[in-house]
């Protein structure tokens, strides 16, 4: 039996890169069932590189990845895919699969490569479409829907995979305000009600302040650092990382902390911390 204190997922002294060049270093974290980890950092700092390394689709330059305390280095890909599901940044697929077939692809880890989908596979795909309000697009070609709709389809495909760990690359980037909150609420429900682990790359610090249990920051130098959201997302960090003056309002009376950027040229007094 799994001891309760063993994290669902752990990255240990991980160094990630492209073509042998180090992009992100000093990655150390343990994610427990029920936790949400946000990754934040400027464009090009290495969030996708790190996520793809965690997923083993890019080789780690050094370090180790463990699921339930076991190194995944030699796991067959089907076994790893049953543990970890991925929704990439929105991409336009090369073939006009139907939305339903695209979501059904999330089930391929649960059956042999050449086996027909089972009833359980179809039910899982239907459930994911229903959850995200995508039923009306069920038969639409994924090449003929909007960018935001395609992003929801990629999230639905990851949901259909029913893995214990969800890795989401900017899942709200092309979504309207309502769908951003719906996706984040759903990710939180999966963590808090079903005990899944969620790792999510994002750009909006307010999303991390409202939804993260912990935040991993990647600096422009590629160094990874980890902490509680309000420890990591400070006015100083926003200024040095993005050159944005902002006021960070601490959590109070059930309202999560949030940051309020001041437009350049606005009076200094508007963003006192």
Ligand X SMILES: Nc1ncnc2c1ncn2[C@@H]1O[C@H](COP(=O)(O)OP(=O)(O)OP(=O)(O)O)[C@@H](O)[C@H]1O
Binding mask 230-249 for ligand X (x = CB under 6 A): --------------------
Residue with tokens 């902002």: 246
- Minimum CB separation from ligand X for residue 53, in Å? 9
Nearer to ligand X, 23 or 129 (CB): 23
CB atoms within 10 A of CB 268: 8
Hunting for tokens 């996706």 — which residue is that?
183
Residue 45 CB, nearest approach to ligand X (Å): 4
Other residues' Cβ atoms within 10 Å of the Cβ of residue 5 = 8
23 interacts with ligand X by CB under 6 A: yes
Q: How near is the Cβ of 47 to ligand X at its closest, in Å?
A: 4
- What pairing do the DSSP bridges indicate for beta strands 165-169 and 258-261? unpaired
Inter-residue contact 141 to 174 (CB < 8 Å): no
2 versus 43: smaller Cβ distance to ligand X:
43
Site size for ligand X (CB under 6 A): 11
* Token duo for residue 144: 């003929």
**Residue 54 or 81 with smaller CB distance to ligand X:** 54
Interface of this chain with ligand X, residues 37 to 96, rule: CB under 6 A: 41, 43-49
Instruction: Give 53's DSSP letter.
Output: H
**CA nearest to 218, candidates 237, 235, 244:** 237
Q: Kindly indicate which of the ranges 36-44, 101-109, 119-127, 131-139 contains the residues binding ligand X, using the contact rule CB under 6 A.
A: 36-44
User: For 252, which DSSP code?
Assistant: B
List of residues contacting ligand X (CB under 6 A): 18-19, 23, 41, 43-49
């Amino acid at each position: 039996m799994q001891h309760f204190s063993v994290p669902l997922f752990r990255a240990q002294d991980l160094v990630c890169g492209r073509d042998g060049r180090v992009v992100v270093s000093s990655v150390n974290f343990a994610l427990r069932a029920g936790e949400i980890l946000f990754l934040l950092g400027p464009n090009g700092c290495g969030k996708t590189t790190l996520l793809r390394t965690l997923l083993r689709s890019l080789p780690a330059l050094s370090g180790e990845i463990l699921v339930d305390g076991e190194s995944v280095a030699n796991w067959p890909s089907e076994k790893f895919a049953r543990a970890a599901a991925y929704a990439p940044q929105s991409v336009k697929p090369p073939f006009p699969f139907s939305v339903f077939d695209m979501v059904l692809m999330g089930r391929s880890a649960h059956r042999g490569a050449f086996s027909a989908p089972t009833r359980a596979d179809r039910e899982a795909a239907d459930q994911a479409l229903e959850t995200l309000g995508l039923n009306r697009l069920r038969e639409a070609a994924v090449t003929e829907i909007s960018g935001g709709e395609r992003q929801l389809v990629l999230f639905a495909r990851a949901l259909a995979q029913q893995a214990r760990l969800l890795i989401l690359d900017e899942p709200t980037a092309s979504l309207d305000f309502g769908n951003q909150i719906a996706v984040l609420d759903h990710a939180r429900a999966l963590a808090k009600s079903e005990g899944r682990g969620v790792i999510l790359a994002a750009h909006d610090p307010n999303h991390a302040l409202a939804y993260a249990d912990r935040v991993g920051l990647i600096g422009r130098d590629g160094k990874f650092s980890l902490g509680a959201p309000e420890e990591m997302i400070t006015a100083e960090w926003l200024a040095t990382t993005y050159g944005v003056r902002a006021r960070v309002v601490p959590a109070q009376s059930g309202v999560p902390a949030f940051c309020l950027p001041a437009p350049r040229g606005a009076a200094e007094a508007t963003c006192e911390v």
